[in-house]
Structure 1
Amino acid sequence: MGGIIFIILVIAVIMLVAMYNGLVRKKKLVDNAWSQIDVQLKRRYDLIPNLVESVKGYAAHEAGLLEKVTLARTRAMGVPSGDTGAKIAAETELGGALRGLMVQVEAYPQLKANENFLQLQEELTSTENKIAFSRQHYNDSATNYNTAIAVFPANVVAGMFKFQDAALWQITEAAEREAPKVKF
């Protein structure tokens, strides 16, 4: 009888350790996915001052828009990396400011023809695509992790060790949800 209880206890401990380790692995995947977003955001931060300088010469009267982009960049860079919700909000604001800048650029044909600007625009577009892919990967990892800590019996282990849900990157601006309007 004592041997059976011992075997059951050993199996329970093994299951507990396996669940805990599985949750830790999933959490580390979420952290890694977030780090990949950070890499792309750093690239975006580095491109923005060059883009703003290129636009300044052609669109001097768009100073308010350029200042908005610069301030949004500064705010986004200042958010601590551990504050996922604030980082997502700041990056959403920066993305909106950049989109506004690119819409305004359409009014300046000589700027659109500038080789330096075109290269910066291409690099920024490429970076935005990489950020979108990284966000998707992060959301996939976070959803996998969030599901793992919510299902039984892992939710018991997650509760014991205070595993927290990972924030998902979601569209918060209604304008981003709308399909683009194409006119011919």
Structure 2
Amino acid sequence: MTLWIILGIIVVVAGYAVVTYNNLVSTRQMSAEGWSGIDVQLKRRTDLIPNLLETVKGYMSHERETLEAVTNARAGATSAANGTPAERAAAEGQLSGALGRLIATAEAYPDLKANTTFLEFQAALQKVEDEIQLARRYYNGSVRNLNTAVESFPSNLIANAFKFEKAQYFELDSPADRAVPTVKF
């Protein structure tokens, strides 16, 4: 009888270990999927910027500093594409700030504000910004679930045994960078 009890306990513990391991793997995959979604949206935004700048250049030729800031921030975001979420967030925050300044400066040019190409790029940029926000929420939610599982007892025993690590949140550093560029029609 004691043998059956011991065998039963071993089966229950092994079953718990398997279920916990599979949960950790699933949560890690959701986190990777979320990061992929952010990456796709950030690439879409980065790809929109050269066309937006070309449209704006003709109207804002003496706003060279603003245009260069967007170009440099885009280059920084592109080079940070393979970095950690924290590095990527810093670069993307700078890009968001530069885009916000560009859109704000464009308000001073009535002809530019009426240009249909510029309006189309503004709408596309706003849509991408909304998609980035949704992707960031999904990613950060999956990271929260993974980090909770990695740190909580007793799942942390399985996580440590199989070298599961906490993931980084995708957060923007400053409150100004957190603001989505305002697009007015």
Q: Same fold (TM over 0.5)?
A: yes
1:145 maps to 146
Aligned residue pairs total 179
1:167 maps to 168
- RMSD, aligned CA: 1.8
Percent pairwise identity: 45
Q: Does 1:31 align with 2:36?
A: no
Deviation for aligned residue 1:101:
0.8
2:126 maps to 125
Paired amino acid for 2:32: D
After superposition, residues 1-184 of structure 1 pair within 5 angstroms as 1-81=2-82, 83-176=84-177
**C-alpha distance after superposition, 1:94-131 (max 9, x if no partner):** 11111111111111111111111111111111111111
Q: Following the alignment from structure 1 to structure 2, what is the Cα–Cα distance between the partners of residues 121 and 80?
A: 23
Q: Following the alignment from structure 1 to structure 2, what is the Cα–Cα distance between the partners of residues 177 and 167?
A: 17
Q: Following the alignment from structure 1 to structure 2, what is the Cα–Cα distance between the partners of residues 89 and 174?
A: 12
Deviation for aligned residue 1:176:
4.7
1:182 maps to none
Unaligned regions of 5+ residues in structure 2, if any?
180-185
Q: Give the ranges of 4+ consecutive aligned residues of structure 1 lying more than 6 Å apart after TM superposition.
A: none
Paired amino acid for 1:100: R
Q: Which has the higher contact order (CA 8 A, sep 6+)?
A: 2
Q: Following the alignment from structure 1 to structure 2, what is the Cα–Cα distance between the partners of residues 173 and 68?
A: 18
Q: Following the alignment from structure 2 to structure 1, what is the Cα–Cα distance between the partners of residues 99 and 158?
A: 43
Deviation for aligned residue 1:52:
0.7
Q: TM-score, normalised on structure 1?
A: 0.90
Q: Following the alignment from structure 1 to structure 2, what is the Cα–Cα distance between the partners of residues 165 and 53?
A: 42
**C-alpha distance after superposition, 1:5-50 (max 9, x if no partner):** 2332222122111111101100100110111111111111110000
